[in-house]
């Protein structure tokens, strides 16, 4: 005999205190008997409101209005200006003029709306106050065993269901609203930890305890708000762009199933723990630079902090693939000029760290500023050798991991030769054209195809031989080898000179592998331009002057 159907009885909702204790409430009013017997203050039945009539009625901000709540934050949300007057690369202007013309950086504009970080995004895709960042953060850090190292709990600002159910932790300890002793909040600690584990290792040839991005920059960020804002912006952009793939999430058209594994595999790093959007963190750092426009009037410590913040923001344009690199590069040079050059940086560990990075950025960035800058910088043996300062320093600190250094230097040398051969060959042809009275027409790059109107490039057989040599040398390093992080620039230069289809396929696979390792969007942007360059070579018979295309990218590939 079949069982008699019994109508489903909905669960009786009781007071909040009983629900937290996971017991059935007796729904007595005004206070339930179970709470009274335990000596607890019962909230009673009905909907629990966080704010009523624009004032907090419970929590750590009880009795305060929304304006008071936001005023109590250490970083208020910046006012944004939707106008921006772009600067041309060759304009000699001061640091203050650059900042005044850069009211809205394009790193924000380059992020598609579908990929921008919601204010509070939870696993259900909700926004506004849908998530509880402090629960997700504590649960994730508990997995890593790092929560006990935090010197203060998280602000109890949100309410609702726990996001941490997707974590392996079973319980969540109660949290209070107390700032950390050094002023760094736990969600900022999480982003700093993310920077040290996911980003810092991509900025040096050989990672280790000597990595200045970890043991120099991060401690300074705890005491300097400007450097901290720049670090938070880098980490937030990278965290969101490389979060585990969700259904319906927009992906880059160049990403493939083969080279598109989730970068952020650990649940300790969660978007829901960040209460600000990535673009707001970036704008906050830019506004901090604008507040220090009179760089000459700042003290030595503040001047070095401004320069270091600009160096960190240059990583933002690498992570996002935006076209702010020429602007930030000119900011760096303007600050150096205002403080009296590199010699005024001093001789401390921070000063030498910044010098090494500045030398590297000057060489790597020159081909992407203008063809003349690239030719002038790479033609100078002294400037070119300075780019190896970071590599030599890492090799001295980690002699056990320096076996690949000769191969890395050989690859960079080969890329250096490939670029000079292309750029210098064009310069000689341009000089002959001027002597003969034949004008040289500039290169035009559109979104579909590249048409070359300049004098013919060097012989294709020489290009093929140089690219083949680079390919064979690169293949001696297995994927994931130590030092592979610093080969992106050299590989891009060599790939730009490709003519054979088999070489193009090889370098395309290499770039997809580089992006899968780093998660930097500028790698995919570089691959997009490589495909345009290769398409233009096919259309123009292999005579494309690709050294003139690189400055039009306005993106640094390194």
Q: Whole-angstrom Cα distance, residue 373 to residue 365?
A: 9
Residue 22 confidence (pLDDT)? 84
Residue 297 confidence (pLDDT)? 86
Q: Which of helix, strand or coil describes residue 161?
A: coil
- CA terminus-to-terminus distance, the chain: 75
Determine the Cα angle at 205 with ends 204 and 206, to 5°: 95
What is the b/e burial string over 431-452, where b = at least 16 CB atoms within 10 angstroms of the residue's CB? eeeeeeeeebeebebeeeebeb
What is the b/e burial string over 295-316, where b = at least 16 CB atoms within 10 angstroms of the residue's CB? beebeeeebbbbbbbbbbbbbb
Distances (CA, A) of 213 to 56, 204, 350, 530: 41, 9, 10, 30
What is the b/e burial string over 495-526, where b = at least 16 CB atoms within 10 angstroms of the residue's CB? bbbbbeeebbebbbebbbbbbbbbbbbbbbbb
Residue 240 confidence (pLDDT)? 87
Q: Whole-angstrom Cα distance, residue 427 to residue 313?
A: 33
Q: Hey, CA dihedral for 475, 479, 480, 484, is it positive or negative?
A: positive
Phi/psi zone of residue 58: left (φ > 0), alpha (ψ -120 to 50 degrees), beta?
Answer: beta
pTM: 0.67
Q: Whole-angstrom Cα distance, residue 327 to residue 109?
A: 15
Residue 61 confidence (pLDDT)? 62
Determine the Cα angle at 324 with ends 385 and 115, to 5°: 120
Of 474, 362, 477, whose CA–CA distance to 413 is shortest? 474
Q: Whole-angstrom Cα distance, residue 122 to residue 136?
A: 9
Determine the Cα angle at 198 with ends 187 and 358, to 5°: 105
User: Could you tell me which residues are beta bridge partners of residue 65?
Assistant: 55
Q: Whole-angstrom Cα distance, residue 29 to residue 27?
A: 6
Q: 118 phi and psi, to 5 degrees?
A: -65, 160
Q: Which of helix, strand or coil describes residue 262?
A: coil
Residue 270 confidence (pLDDT)? 66
Q: Whole-angstrom Cα distance, residue 115 to residue 240?
A: 8
Of 86, 80, 111, 549, whose CA–CA distance to 327 is shortest? 86
Mean pLDDT by 10 residues, the chain (558 residues): 71 81 85 87 70 54 60 48 37 54 49 37 31 38 36 29 29 32 77 93 92 94 94 93 55 48 50 82 91 87 94 95 91 92 88 95 95 94 93 93 94 96 67 38 42 50 92 94 94 94 95 94 94 86 77 91
DSSP designation for 450:
E
- Return the half-sphere exposure (C-beta side, CA atoms, 13 A cut-off) of residue 207: 15
Residue 343 confidence (pLDDT)? 86
């Amino acid at each position: 005999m079949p069982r008699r159907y019994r109508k489903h009885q909905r669960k009786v909702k009781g007071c909040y205190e009983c629900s937290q204790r996971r017991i059935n409430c007796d729904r007595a009013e005004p206070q339930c008997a179970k709470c009274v017997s335990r000596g607890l203050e019962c909230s009673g039945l009905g909907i629990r409101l966080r704010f009523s009539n624009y004032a907090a009625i419970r929590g750590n901000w009880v009795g305060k209005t929304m304006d008071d709540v936001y005023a109590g934050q250490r970083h208020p949300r910046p006012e944004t200006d939707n106008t921006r007057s772009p600067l041309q690369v060759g304009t000699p202007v001061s640091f203050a003029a650059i900042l005044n013309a850069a009211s809205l950086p394009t790193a924000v504009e380059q992020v598609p709306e579908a990929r921008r970080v919601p204010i509070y995004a939870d696993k259900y895709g909700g926004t506004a106050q849908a998530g509880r960042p402090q629960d997700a953060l504590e649960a994730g850090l508990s997995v890593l065993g790092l929560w006990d190292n935090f010197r203060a709990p998280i602000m109890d600002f949100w309410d609702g269901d726990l996001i941490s159910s997707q974590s392996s932790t079973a319980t969540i300890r109660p949290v209070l609203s107390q700032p950390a002793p050094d002023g760094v909040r736990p969600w900022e600690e999480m982003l700093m930890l993310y920077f040290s584990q996911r980003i810092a290792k991509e900025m040096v040839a050989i990672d280790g305890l000597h990595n200045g991005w970890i043991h120099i920059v991060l401690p300074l960020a705890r005491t300097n708000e400007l450097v901290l804002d720049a670090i938070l912006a880098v980490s937030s952009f990278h965290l969101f762009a490389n979060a585990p793939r969700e259904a319906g999430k927009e992906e880059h058209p160049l990403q493939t199933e083969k080279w598109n594994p989730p970068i952020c595999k650990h649940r300790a790093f969660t978007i829901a723990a960040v209460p600000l959007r990535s673009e707001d963190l970036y704008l906050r750092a830019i506004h901090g630079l604008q507040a220090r426009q009179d760089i000459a009037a700042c003290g030595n410590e503040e001047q070095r902090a401004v320069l270091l913040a600009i160096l960190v923001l240059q990583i933002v344009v690498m992570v996002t693939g935006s076209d702010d690199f020429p602007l930030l590069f000119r900011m760096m040079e303007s600050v150096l000029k205002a403080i009296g050059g590199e010699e005024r940086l001093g001789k401390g560990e921070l000063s030498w760290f910044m010098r090494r990075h500045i030398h590297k950025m000057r060489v790597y960035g020159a081909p992407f500023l203008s063809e003349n800058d690239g030719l002038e910088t790479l033609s100078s043996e002294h400037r070119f050798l300075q780019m190896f300062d970071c590599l030599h320093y890492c090799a001295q600190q980690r002699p056990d991991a320096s076996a690949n250094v000769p191969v890395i230097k050989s690859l960079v040398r080969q890329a250096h030769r490939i670029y000079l051969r292309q750029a210098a060959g064009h310069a000689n042809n341009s000089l002959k054209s001027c002597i003969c009275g034949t004008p040289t027409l500039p290169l035009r790059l559109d979104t579909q195809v590249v048409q070359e109107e300049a004098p013919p490039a060097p012989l294709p057989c020489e290009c093929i031989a140089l690219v083949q040599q680079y390919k064979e040398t690169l293949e001696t390093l297995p994927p994931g080898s130590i030092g592979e992080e610093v080969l992106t620039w050299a590989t891009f230069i060599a790939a730009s000179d490709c003519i054979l289809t088999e070489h193009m396929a090889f370098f395309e696979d290499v770039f997809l592998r580089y992006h899968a390792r780093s998660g930097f969007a500028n790698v995919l942007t570089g691959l997009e331009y490589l495909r345009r360059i290769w398409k233009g070579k096919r259309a123009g018979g292999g005579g494309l002057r690709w050294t003139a295309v690189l400055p039009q990218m306005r993106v640094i590939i390194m």
